[in-house]
Structure 1
Amino acid sequence: MTGSRKSRLDGSRFKQRRGSYRRYKLPRLTATMTCKEAFRTIARGCLDDLAANQQATYEGDREALHQMRIALTRLRAARSFFSSFIPSSEWSPLKGELKWLNKHLSRTRDLDVALKRLPSAHDTSPRQTLGRAWRKTWSASHRDLRRALHSRRYRILLRDMSIWIDGSRSSGKVKPSTSLTTYSGRRLDRWYQKLVKKSRAIEDMSASQRHRLRIKSKRFRYVLEVLEQLLPGKSRAGVRECLKSLRKIQKYLGQLNDAEQGRLIATALAKSAQEDGARWNSPLPTGRKARKRMIRAAALAFQQMAELKPFQLS
């Protein structure tokens, strides 16, 4: 094993300054890249961001935790987008391990978001008592996350992901000669059409269905942000407007999801304390009118996006 290869596997290349976090930066792609090269460039950046934010997340930096979750989502989005070039047999074992890591990150992040809506430390009302209970729950969740980030399982995951990104074979579902620009344009249009179609029923969806729609919207946005640089100049204006709509959608559906996750955590805490769930939900107001307003706003953003047709250039 060469020295450079060894350093890549032992994790030293992932070290980050103590207490700092790294924000995501768009990778540079070129039209001369193959689809496999583009995927490797995107995935490598995501893996580097994931590992670079590990120490700050371990120390309790909430922005670093957020960046780790973003890196995971972008990595999954890239894999899904370029799935035609990646055998599913190579992805399946890693998929389960990423799900394990995301579960730890998501639990703590959901508590982070909920805590922002709780009473201040100077509040002496009964609501503040609830706040202390929520913070105690966050501390327990963060301890679990700390253990996960310093576990052998996490180190092996980074190592295996690195090997997979650099050495995965082509699945053969798409001709190797297919250019990155051609593939990206066709694939983006397919994702766009599917997303627009699914969004038409948003006002009748359950919370779980809206959550799945939110994930699809977020992944489409992340992929589009990366590949925008490769698209023809005449489509750029439409793509920029599409991204504006996607950011609005992520904002509104994200607020709905935050409220729903807060409700689920509050329900679990109430059950553990053998108390009425309404008291635990009280710091997290999620009125019916507010929910309807956010759903309508998301529906409008989807409608605006549907009118753009940014990938139909004929």
Structure 2
Amino acid sequence: MNLTVDPNTLGVAAAAPNLRPAIDAASRELEIKFACDPAGLALARASLLLQTATPDGPAKNLISVYFDTPSGDLKAQGLVLRVRRAGRSAPSMTLKWRPSEAEGPFARGEIEVRARSLQPDLDLFDPSVAARLREIIADRALEPQFETRVKRRTRLVNFAAARIEAAFDEGAIVAGERSWPVCELELELKSGEASDLYELGARLAEILPVRLDTASKSARAFRLAADETAKVVKAGPLQFAPGAMLDDAVAAVISSTIHHFVANWAALREDEKPESIHQMRVALRRLRAALAMFKRALPCAEFELFRAEAKRIASALGPARECDAFRNLVEEGPIAHLGARANFEPLLRDLEQRRQAAYVDARALIDAPQTTAFVLRAQALVARCGWRNALSGLELACLTQPAALFAAEALERLQKRAGKRGKNLVTLPDEERHEVRIVLKNLRYAAEFFGSLFESDRAVHAYLRSVARLQDLLGAHNDAASAESFLGATEDADAARAAGVVIGWYGRDAIVADEGLAKSWKAFRHSKSFWK
């Protein structure tokens, strides 16, 4: 399949356009990484799925030094510059970057050249690449930022129609006085079908004590050097090349939602950032909305299977999200406006106990083999274009229609559905309002997915604002109903009294929201349909 996502949006910020000649010729890595402990790594080496007819070669000691300017100019452009020596071999110099979200979480871009020493020499790259790098760093010196010291054993594995390198790494990331242990299994596609790489990864996750980790060593090292934890990641915009087809759009949208989902695992693992749970649930809702849209034109049974699994995972993350949301409301609502924090301490303690238990479950969920298998097999579906399998000749032909045509039809259909369900919106009962809110979410996701296919960014953003405003107002009623169900479960008498105040606060917010609902609904109904 020819994915027509614009190479100028490869996630290298301003560096990408001027690096395009080299990027077009550069290789793409497809790599799956699993973190484990030494016992798990030993089990991986002994796994029948990773056995070969020839014994492993000798272990190699890899010393990799990462360079940047003191102000981190390369990092700011999404670029990583590394010089590596493997044992006594000649060193190599590598420029790496993360491609766009449309290529999924397992793709890497890289340009590698032989080096003369462990000091970077930009002249060894293609002249256009070297010139752009010098433009980025200007007159600032490249200095070592951190290094990795790893003992690596590798073997080549044949799996179905793929040839895959399995690397078993043990060592450490070293940044000044800080260090981080490394114990990883990496699977890199050398030739053959990408879908087989993902299937092998899924099977290994189901039988080995390993956990999927999409953060690179360099990303972890940058955080280690700065004494930071992983940041929460929001969905990025999709940019399609002119003439993008529906086939391309299906692949790009699914891959981007999977990327959004797994990109937030590190923030949950390292720091329990509340927004990480929220963003994971948003990613899964976006995936479900996209698969429902595509299934109307492409009757692919796997779409429904992945929708169901995404719903299961999102629902399992729900209790953690609810605890965070209600804690924020207590802090920013009654306590901030009424004071008397002590009156709410019993409720806050009860919420915190529930939150801690929910976060234990959430971390276990993302580390679970089923969740890893879901991610890898969804990416395998994209790699093999699985939606083509059950299509007839006429249905196959629709894959070559302009993505903009499909997007316009989907957006128009969703807008009409919202208009029909939202008729007499202000007087609708909560259950029917909630249905309108769900349609609006799907409409908003579709506009975010496909907005770049149309000419006016300003019109797209204005439309998204009108939909988001309605979602927020309708959400106030849903929040009030959820609060009564969630907070009413407390058994402590003092906590129950505080919960009553919070429930009343939610009810007040719902009344205030209703005051602006009619006006916002009218604004939405009169907003410009940017796809026409």
**TM norm structure 2:** 0.53
Which of 277, 282, 300 matches 1:70? 282
- Name the structure 1 match of 2:518: 299
Say whether 1:242 aligns with 2:469. Answer: no
Quick check: 34-43 or 251-260, which moved more? 251-260
Which of 148, 169, 173 matches 2:387? 169
Letter in 2 for 1:192: Q
- Name the structure 1 match of 2:163: 2
Extract unaligned runs of 5+ from structure 1.
none
Are the equivalent residues in 2 in contact too, given 1:66–1:109 (CA < 8 A)? yes
Which of 45, 63, 82 matches 2:294? 82
CA distance in 2, matches of 1:103, 1:113: 15
**Greater Rg, structure 1 or structure 2?**
2
Say whether 1:229 aligns with 2:452. Answer: yes
Q: 3-state DSSP class of the match of 2:243?
A: coil
Q: 3-state DSSP class of the match of 1:14?
A: coil
Letter in 2 for 1:154: T
- 1:275 to partner: Cα distance: 9.1
Quick check: 198-207 or 96-105, which moved more? 198-207
CA distance in 2, matches of 1:276, 1:55: 33
- Matches of residues 1-314 of structure 1 in structure 2 within 5 Å? 1-3=162-164, 4=189, 5=194, 8-9=198-199, 10=201, 14-15=214-215, 17=219, 19-20=229-230, 21-59=232-270, 60-118=272-330, 125-167=342-384, 168-170=386-388, 171=391, 174=395, 175-176=397-398, 177-233=400-456, 238-270=459-491, 279-286=498-505, 288=507, 290-310=509-529, 313=532
CA distance in 2, matches of 1:232, 1:223: 16
CA distance in 1, matches of 2:283, 2:466: 22
Q: 3-state DSSP class of the match of 1:26?
A: coil
Greater helix proportion: 1
Deviation string 1:184-230 (CA, Å, 9 cap, x unpaired) is: 11221111111122112322333333222212212211211231221
Greater strand proportion: 2
- 1:136 to partner: Cα distance: 0.6
How large is the RMSD of aligned CA atoms in angstroms? Answer: 2.9
- 1:95 to partner: Cα distance: 2.2
Percent of paired sites with the same residue: 18
Question: Judging changes above 3 Å, is the alpha-carbon distance between structure 1 residues 34 and 152 closer, same or farther for their aligned structure 2 residues?
Answer: same
Are the equivalent residues in 1 in contact too, given 2:265–2:366 (CA < 8 A)? yes
Question: Judging changes above 3 Å, is the alpha-carbon distance between structure 1 residues 155 and 286 closer, same or farther for their aligned structure 2 residues?
Answer: same
Q: 3-state DSSP class of the match of 2:489?
A: helix
CA distance in 1, matches of 2:330, 2:347: 8
Are the equivalent residues in 1 in contact too, given 2:463–2:527 (CA < 8 A)? yes
Letter in 2 for 1:26: P
CA distance in 1, matches of 2:269, 2:432: 32
List, as ranges, runs of 4+ consecutive aligned residues in structure 1 with deviation greater than 6 Å. Answer: none
Letter in 2 for 1:25: G
Deviation string 1:64-96 (CA, Å, 9 cap, x unpaired) is: 222212211221222222223433421232222
Are the equivalent residues in 1 in contact too, given 2:344–2:495 (CA < 8 A)? no
Letter in 2 for 1:57: L
Letter in 2 for 1:108: A
CA distance in 1, matches of 2:266, 2:249: 28
Quick check: 279-288 or 240-249, which moved more? 279-288
- 1:293 to partner: Cα distance: 2.9
Are the equivalent residues in 1 in contact too, given 2:347–2:495 (CA < 8 A)? no
CA distance in 2, matches of 1:186, 1:309: 15
CA distance in 2, matches of 1:196, 1:239: 19
- 1:311 to partner: Cα distance: 5.5
- 1:299 to partner: Cα distance: 3.4
Letter in 1 for 2:474: L
Q: 3-state DSSP class of the match of 2:401?
A: coil
Deviation string 1:34-54 (CA, Å, 9 cap, x unpaired) is: 112112111101101211211
Question: Judging changes above 3 Å, is the alpha-carbon distance between structure 1 residues 283 and 308 closer, same or farther for their aligned structure 2 residues?
Answer: closer
CA distance in 2, matches of 1:64, 1:288: 27
Letter in 2 for 1:131: L
Are the equivalent residues in 2 in contact too, given 1:15–1:51 (CA < 8 A)? no
Letter in 1 for 2:372: R
**TM norm structure 1:** 0.86
- 1:30 to partner: Cα distance: 2.6
